[in-house]
Amino acid sequence: EDKVVQSPLSLVVHEGDTVTLNCSYEVTNFRSLLWYKQEKKAPTFLFMLTSSGIEKKSGRLSSILDKKELSSILNITATQTGDSAIYLCAVVGAGKSTFGDGTTLTVKP
Amino acid sequence: DTGVSQDPRHKITKRGQNVTFRCDPISEHNRLYWYRQTLGQGPEFLTYFQNEAQLEKSRLLSDRFSAERPKGSFSTLEIQRTEQGDSAMYLCASLRLAGDLHRTDTQYFGPGTRLTVL
């Protein structure tokens, strides 16, 4: 059974802080790992990672995959209140994509 | 707007009734997924299609749930004899599964259908 575990479950920081969110996985026939941001609606796509060690960046967000450790991290620098959301990690295997339960990030002014 | 649409956006029904949801994926996407999400949980996989073929169905899914994707375009998810435990957000996502692993697998969600079973 494919499995995705995210940590921490929740995180409270102040504006300007840097955060690191973790995702570890066990999946058959790994193809890719996806990060999403979810506010009070459906998840929105952030990053797709397939290769170890190659950082993907989008503004203040960045992510990297470690296939040896079966894990990925999502970094957010200079956090803003608008970053408050649930961050979901999903892994695409040979068939279905499996989601973790997410990390709830709260950024206080 | 991701290009994936779902209808209806909200559905309130009485226990025991049947409901059907529709998903229209991005046209060039070959895979279509259905998920269910409840508060505090990540999306839970229900089933997925590659073109018109239903390739996998969650073992957690009861026989009251059925999904179709005729002609490999839109998909429908039907829940028969709804129960209060079926109340959740039902999400559809479409994915362009790249043939080359060096290209991008991109998966986009529709807005979801929120089901409330009274």
Q: What is the pLDDT of residues B7-25, one digit of tens each?
A: 999 999 999 999 999 999 9
Mean pLDDT of A72-93: 95
- d(C-alpha A31, C-alpha B100), whole Å: 10
Helix (DSSP H) and strand (DSSP E) numbers for chain B: 0, 11
Q: In a 10 Å sphere around its CB, with 0-12 CB exposed, 13-18 middle and 19+ buried, how is residue A108 labelled? A: exposed
CA distance B18 to chain A (A): 24
Residues of A in contact with B43 (CB under 8 A): 43, 88, 90, 99
Q: Convert the pLDDT of each residue in B72-97 to its tens digit.
A: 889 999 999 999 999 999 999 988 76
Q: What are the two backbone dihedrals, phi and then psi, of residue A82, each rounded to the nearest 5 degrees?
A: -70, -10
A76 touches chain B (CB under 8 A): no
Chain A (24-53) residues lying within 8 Å, Cβ to Cβ, of chain B: 31-32, 34, 36, 41-45, 48, 50
- The whole-number pLDDT of residue B102 equals 47
B99 touches chain A (CB under 8 A): no
- The whole-number pLDDT of residue B99 equals 62
| pLDDT of residue B58 exceeding 50 | yes
